């Protein structure tokens, strides 16, 4: 008797995958959590995140830090990379980009807890940082600081 390939339903892993045209077109995928009985933190860091200003069309640059405590599902990392990359040609304010990322992850994996820090570089001379959390941290879980310093410019 052969074991079922738990990755067989994934549409992007292990094959050439083009960058989606928009976050709405991106397919965010998940896999079963083999350690679902353990509470632990998963961290994704995207230090070169880009999107477009919806008013000027100019690029915006940010550093996204996503932490979550999984339940039954894990975010499949290649699909997350393609989803985040789909923002490159997407016009949206910083707030919309950051919260959209969090909502899509929550909808896909229903984590026990999630937080996202969106550390955006200055637009119009003002850096904008966004913070969002969902759920409660289970007792006894070590959650490290995100450790992204505030923007300091050249000073």
- In sequence order, the 6+-apart residues with CB closer than 8 A to the CB of 139 are none
53 catalytically annotated: yes
60 catalytically annotated: yes
Q: Which of 9, 18, 32, 53 is catalytic?
A: 53
DSSP for 39-105 reads ---EEEEEEEEEEE-TTT--EEEEEEEEEEE-SSEEE-HHHHHHHHHGGGG-B--HHHHHHHHHHHH
Q: Which of 24, 32, 60, 96 is catalytic?
A: 60
- Residues with catalytic roles: 53, 60
């Amino acid at each position: 008797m052969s074991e079922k390939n738990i990755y067989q339903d994934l549409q992007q892993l292990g094959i050439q995958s083009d960058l989606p045209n928009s976050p709405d077109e991106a397919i965010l995928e998940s896999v079963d959590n083999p350690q679902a009985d353990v509470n632990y933190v998963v961290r994704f860091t995207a230090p070169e995140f880009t999107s477009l200003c919806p008013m000027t069309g100019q690029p915006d640059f940010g550093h996204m830090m996503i932490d979550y405590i999984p339940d039954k599902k894990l975010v499949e990392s290649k699909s997350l990379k393609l989803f985040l990359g789909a923002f490159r040609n997407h016009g949206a304010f910083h707030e919309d980009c950051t919260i959209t990322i969090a909502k899509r992850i929550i909808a896909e994996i229903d984590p026990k807890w999630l937080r996202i820090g969106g550390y955006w570089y200055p637009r119009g001379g003002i850096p904008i940082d966004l913070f969002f959390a969902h759920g409660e941290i289970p007792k006894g879980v070590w959650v490290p600081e995100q450790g992204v310093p505030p923007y300091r410019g050249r000073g």
